[in-house]
Amino acid sequence: MPGDPTALVEQLWAQFLPLVHERVRLIEEVAAGGGDVATAGRAAHNLAGSLGSYGRATASSVARELDLAFTAGVPDQAWLTDAVRRLREGLEVGRA
């Protein structure tokens, strides 16, 4: 495949950005007291697995925290709200 790896990753990132935001929204729903915990946990797990590989190190690190928290049970809502905020900030920072 011609081209450099960064360009390729960024191209795919643009394609998947709506999916990333959808996953964040699923977690946000649980933070707001609604949503489905299992679905949100799965979303956190997937974000933890993919964000870093797309070069989003900061967001990836928050997603890993979320993944672990969901694995341990239902995370505290206040903590979850803060984590979602940090996740969004991490996504805005962009490629690290």
Partner 1 sequence: MTAVQVGRDAPHVRGRRALVVDDDEMVVALVRAGLEGEGVEVVTAADGREALDQLARSVPDVVVSDVNMPGMDGFALVSRLRAEPATRSVPLVFLTSRSHADDVLTGLALGADDYVRKPFELTELVARVVAKIHRPPVPVDTLVRDVRTGLLSASRLHEEIDHEAGRAARTGRPAAVAVLDVAERDQLVERFGARADDDLAVQVAQRVGVHLGSALDRVARDAAGRFLVLLPESGPDEVRTRLTRVAEALAGERLTVAGEGVQVTPVVGWASLDPHPGPGAAGPGAAELVERATVAADAATLHLDLQPVRWTPALAGTTPPAGRRARPSRAARLRTVLGRLRTAWQIALTLLLGVVVPFAVYVGLYELAGVDVSRPLYLVVVGALLLTAGAIWTEGFLALRATRPPEEPASPPPPASAVIAAYLPNEAATVVETVESFLRQDYPAGLQVVLAYNTPRPMAVEDTLAQLALRDPRLLPLRVEGSTSKAQNVNAALAHVTGEFVGVFDADHHPDAGSFLRAWRWLSHGYDVVQGHCVIRNGDASWVARTNAVEFESIYAVSHPGRARLHRFGIFGGSNGYWRTSLLRQVRMHGFMLTEDIDSSLRVVEEGGRIASDPGLVSRELAPTTLAALWNQRMRWAQGWFQVSRKHLLRAWRSPALSLRQKLGMTFLLGWREVYPWLSLQMFPLVAFMAWREGGADRLDWLVPVFVLTTLFTASVGPGQTLFARRLAVPEIRRQPGWFWRYLLVSSFVYTELKNVIGRVAQVKELMGEREWKVTPRATAPAAPTTPAVVATPTVTEASGAR
From the list 24, 15, 14, 17, the residue with the least C-alpha distance to 63 is 24
**Would you tell me how many other CB atoms lie within 10 Å of the CB of residue 40?**
25
Rounded to 5°, angle at Cα 84 from 10 and 92:
35
Tell me how far, at minimum, the Cβ of 79 lies from partner 1, in Å.
Answer: 17
**Residues 14-73 close enough to bind partner 1 by CB under 8 A:** 15-16, 19-20, 42, 45-46, 48-54, 57, 60, 64, 67-68, 71
Positions that interact with partner 1 (CB under 8 A): 1-9, 12, 15-16, 19-20, 42, 45-46, 48-54, 57, 60, 64, 67-68, 71
